[in-house]
Amino acid sequence: MDISKDLIAASATPLILSILTEGESYGYAIIKRVTALSGGTLQWTDGMLYPILHRLESQGLIESEVRTSDTGRKRKYYRIKQDGSTAIAVYQAQWQAVYATLNKVWEAKLCLD
Amino acid sequence: MFRLEDAIENWKLQLNQHQTMTPSDIEELQIHLLEEIDTLMAAGLNQEEAFIVASRRIGSPGEISCEFAKINTAAIWKNRFFWMIIGILMLQIFSACGNFLGRGGALIGCQLVGWNALNTGIISAVIQIAVLLCLLVGFYIAAVHFSIFRKIPKKTLIGIIIAVSALSFLINHLAGIGFNVMIGRFYSAEQLGQFSLGCNYSAMGLSVLWPVVWLLLLLWLLPGKTRSA
């Protein structure tokens, strides 16, 4: 099952913020985490992640730091900030509202069937 | 023979072509690409295969640049503004050169050949325009075909251009005073009138020519042909 581009784009921000609550991370690892969490159903175009990260950073929801990893490679690590955690709560409420609404319709339809 | 370094350089050039990404954006994507290549090679792919798959997963340069264009608007406009300023200063330098060579060349040349003041006026204006056009075309060729501006660091470039611009402005004005003295000393009142008549005849023609030249330039540079940011 492929998830539509629009839905991927809409869910990207809450997903990235939520992954960052698990601890600081960098672009490549975030992509891997999304694939693992979704069981491969959320297929991101990897390059699209970075503009979103940069936007979140300029909005003050996350912060970044360039460090050299154990393998000697330079990496930009992203960390969630207080405003980011607050934003997640809002996203959660929104997504749950959408999910609950859809579910109500689907359940009603099931009863009719 | 596939060389990973060359392939990556080429890939970075493609990303850079759209000029919507900063050097650090490109560096971050490059690190991502290298990590993916490492993972794929550990899974048994060769370098070339790993590069192809990894660059595909990152997305097409056009697609990615489009996304970056949405967030990098300030940087993009700063970059555009920089080149506009360079263009304005270059035009000023070229006009100063044209003015200097046109007036000086015609006055001295026609004096040597013995042409009258009316012709001197006309030739002076024609030389001015010819020099300006030649420099503009030369500038275009140097910038586009030899990409000289990409090779010079921005700070050095703006330093050189400001210095040359100031110098050409100064020389042109000082020389202008010299030329006026020359005209005053060598020309009688009637010749002076003839000279200025010649200049004005040319100016009439040029006032028609210039708008046409700019209009053609504008049509040629019309967006749509270039990228849409």
Interface residues on A facing B, Cβ-Cβ cutoff 8 A = 27-28, 31, 45-48, 50-51, 54-55, 58, 73-76
Are residues A74 and B64, on separate chains, in Cβ contact within 8 Å?
no
**CA–CA min distance B139, chain A (Å):** 35
Q: Are B168 and B88 in contact (CB under 8 A)?
A: no
Using CA coordinates, name the residue in chain B closest to A59: B71
List residues bridging with A75 in a β-sheet: A67
> Which one, of B103, B94, B86, B198, lies nearest residue B149 by Cα?
B86
**Chain A residues touching B29 at Cβ < 8 A:** 47, 50
Chain B residues touching A50 at Cβ < 8 A: 25, 28-29, 32, 68
Residue in A45, A51, A74 nearest the CB of B68: A51
Q: Which residues contact A52 (CB under 8 A, 6 or more apart)?
A: A12, A13, A16
Q: CA A75 → CA A67, A71, B19, distances in Å?
A: 5, 10, 23
- The burial class, CB within 10 Å (0-12 / 13-18 / 19+), for B107 is buried
Quick one: pLDDT band at residue B73, thresholds 50, 70, 90?
confident
Cβ–Cβ pairs < 8 A, chains A and B = 51
Question: What is the structure's pLDDT at A11?
Answer: 92
Per-residue pLDDT, B224: 61
Percentage of chain A beyond pLDDT 70 is: 98
- CA B189/CA B183 separation, integer angstroms: 10
Burial class (CB in 10 A: 0-12, 13-18, 19+), A61: buried
Look at B67 and A48 and tell me if their CB atoms are within 8 Å: yes
Who has greater pLDDT, B76 or B42? B42
Residue of A9, A15, A13, A7 lying closest to A98 (CA atoms): A7
Residue B69 C-alpha, separation from nearest chain A C-alpha, in angstroms: 9
A45 vs B63: CB contact, 8 Å cut-off? Answer: yes
Beta carbons of B29 and A45 less than 8 Å apart: no
Q: How many CA atoms, within 13 angstroms, populate the side-chain half-sphere of residue B145?
A: 6
Inform me whether the pLDDT recorded for A40 exceeds 50.
Answer: yes
- Residues of chain B with pLDDT > 90: what percent? 23
pLDDT of residue A56: 94
What pLDDT is attached to residue A113?
65
Residue B60 to chain A, least CA–CA distance (Å):
9
- pLDDT of residue B229 exceeding 60: no
Residue B228 has pLDDT above 60, yes or no: no
Contact residues, chain B, for A69 at CB < 8 Å: none
Residue B187 contacts residue B196 (beta carbons within 8 Å)? no
What's the pLDDT tens digit per position in B101-117? 888 888 888 878 878 88
Residue A2 CB neighbour total at 10 angstroms: 8
CB-based contacts of B184: which residues, under 8 Å, 6+ apart? B192
A50 → closest Cβ in B25, B35, B63: B25
Query: Model's pTM, two decimal places?
Result: 0.67
State which H helix or E strand residue A26 sits in: strand A25-26
CA angle B6, B9, B11 (to 5 degrees): 110
Q: How far apart are CA A74 and CA A71, in angstroms?
A: 9
pLDDT digits (tens, 9 = 90+) for B169-222: 999 899 989 888 888 888 888 888 888 888 888 888 888 888 998 899 889 887
Q: Rounded to 5 degrees, what are φ and ψ at A68?
A: -90, 130
Report CA dihedral (B23, B25, B29, B30) to the nearest 10 degrees: 20
Q: Which two tokens stand for residue A67?
A: 């460090």
